[in-house]
Every structure is written in C-alpha cells, then in structure tokens.
Amino acid sequence: MARAQFEQALPHADVSQMVAERLNFPERAVIVAVPLRRDDGTIQIFAGYRVQHSTVLGPTKGGIRYDAGVSLGECAALASWMTWKCALLRLPYGGSKGGIRCDPRALSPRELERLTRRFTSELVREIGPQTDIPAPDMATNEQTMAWMMDTYSMLVGHAVPEVVTGKPISIGGSIFRREATGAGVVMTAERACHRLGFELAERRCIVQGFGNVGGVAASELHDKGATVIAISDISGGLHAPDGLDIPDLHAYVVEHGSLAGYEHGERMTNEEILELPCDVLFVAAREDQLTGENAGRVQAKLIVEGANGPTTIEADAIFAERGIPVVPDILANAGGVTVSYFEWVQDLGRLFWDRDEIRGRLADKMIDASDRVWSVSEEKGISLRLSALVAAIREVGGALETRGIYP
C-alpha cells in the first residue's frame, strides 16, 4: 500500500527521476536475533528489525512495536510513511520503524524488560540521538522507552534521555506527549470541517478505537461539544444515537480494562460501527479497516485517519468517486511525532515547556500542514492523501536535490 501510494503521488510531485528512485528504497535495514531467557530458564530466540528510510532531512524517527505480525516489509512500509509524515510537518527527521516479532501478551513483565534491553543492545550501533530515535508503538509504552533509554545510557556511560521519546516525564519525557496524537487528530478534523463549511462542534462523530489515539480523540471531541454516537475497542463496539458519556466510558475502562460489559448503549462489532450514519468518522484502530468491500456502505461526510494505513487503495478510490474526503494518516496522526520532536528538542537543551506552550506549538504545526495539504489538493485537483504525499515528497526531494549524491 505504501509503495502504491508513493507511485500514485509521484506524477504530481514534479521531482526528478533521481529523487523518485532514491526515495523508493530504504537507506538501511537491520535484522537481529534477540535471545531471551524465559522465566522458566529456557532460551527463546526472537527476530528483531529496524528500518531507516531516509536521513536526508536529519536523524530518523519512528516507533518500536511488539507484535506477532512484525516483519521487515511491514517495518519498511511504516518507515516510509514516517518519512512523509515528518517532512509534511517540516520536522528535521526522516522515517524509521522497528520491532520484535513476538506475542507480548505471552511474556511476563520481567521477560519484556529482558527482551527490550537485549534488543536495545543489539541496536546500539544503529540508534542514537543524532542517528535514529525510537518511540513507542504497538504494545510498547513509556516503560519500554525507559528500559531502552537506560540500556543505551549504560552502554555509552552517561545518561542520554534524547535517545528515545515517549519516556516518563521523570527521565526527560514531555508533558502532553501521550495525548498528542489524539489531540492532533481532532485539530486536523476541526480544520477539515472548517474547509468544508461546517464546524466540528455539535457534529455527530464515530470513533473506531478507544486506545491511546481514539480515547484521547473521543475526549477532545466531547470537550469541543461534538456528540460521539459510537465507539469501539478490542471487545467490540457501542452505539448510542443520543451520544455516549465519554468520561464515564474512560472511568469504566480504567476499572475493567476494556468496554466489555458496559451496559449503556447498543453492542455491535467494530466493523458495524463503521457503516453507521455520521458526520465525521475517526478510524483509530488498525490498518485495513476501510476496504473495497465496505467503503460503499460508509455513511460519513468526512473520514479522519487516526491509525496508520486504515484505508486501502480500493477504498480510497470508492471514497473519491463518492465525494467523501479522507484526511490521511500522515497528516491526521502526526501530532505524536511532532510532540516527540518537541521532547527531543527539550532533552537536547535540558529546558522544558509547559502544557499550554506545547499544545499551542502543536496546533500551529498541525494547522500549517493542513492548510498546505488542502492548498495542494485544490491546486492539483487531487485527493487529500495524494496532496499530503506530494507536499511531503517535495520537501524531501528538494533537500535531496540540494545535498546531491555522495560521492
């Protein structure tokens, strides 16, 4: 999907053949074997990956995920999306992505720590504050980043908080980092609604996903006066035509771990909530949720991608034909990497900002990127996804042309 999207955008980007060829391939890919001593004393070997797509604009930046589906190809695709995301937001980064192929739910907390520390030591020559900066992703979190930061610091002999982002605040993490992706999703949605001639407040919204992105987005929507009529998580979906009580849902999930058993609303599947009538549909779960099979039944006026790659190429074509705008992932969910950049800058300077300053800086970045994407879309007569990619490719391509090829 990442390759197809890149090839669709190229004819509109007006870059040279050299740039097109260079950006078609990652600069570096690493596969490592990660041995783990299990709690019962047995040894198990896991495959670990790190792909760095482009260093033209600066060090690479991207998440670490623990999942049974992690592969070299997946990491390469996600790394390229990170390049476009960083370029679109005009951050001095290229994209990277990595992870370990494992089932994290089958590992104890102590095993996860040992696995993380060994993986970090295997990557010590590949990562660093001026080379490649990891962050949390699927099934990793602040604690994972703390273990990575501590392991790297022990290996080099001094504390290096800027080697990762998404850390706990106690060791150099940034205020507002956890909420940044979800908040950024709503910022771009609000800007899109304004472009389309209506306001987000009082609109009927659906949020697929109630994790770090969807949960925060739902709270932001609630605070802005929008009505969230349906939501879902791993346990399934909930629908209430008059609106769900988002604060109560959050309190329930904190106590019970998921939406399972929540009684206020009609139960339905994750797939069913995508087809309910609404003004704005937020897709904040996993990839490949909107496909050629269900795109024709979606009844939203606007779709906003909180997850990476939730809309397939086939679904994109159907939405374009039906006139339903899609705010693409590389724009909509770029709030996380933007505040990660702020965290990195704060760590480098050992000078930290308050919540209001970070939120204001994030809003400036998201609005600027949104306006440039809409402008390219209107200028070229292309979808928002293609215009976002075109804007990003132009940023990276311009830097590559200026720097040239060494030697």
Angle at 284 between CA 204 and CA 30, to 5 degrees: 165
Annotate 104-137 with DSSP letters as a single string. GGGS-HHHHHHHHHHHHHHTTTT-BTTTEEEEE-
C-alpha triplet 187, 88, 179: angle, nearest 5° = 35
Sign of CA dihedral 126, 132, 136, 142: positive
Q: Peptide bond preceding 277: is omega within 30 degrees of 0, i.e. cis?
A: no
| Full DSSP string of 338-369 | HHHHHHHHHHHHT----HHHHHHHHHHHHHHH
Residues identified as active-site: 97
C-alpha–C-alpha distance, residues 282 and 300, integer Å: 10
Calculate ∠ Cα 77-133-403, nearest 5°. Answer: 75
Q: Angle at the Cα of 187 (from 281 to 338), degrees rounded to 5?
A: 115
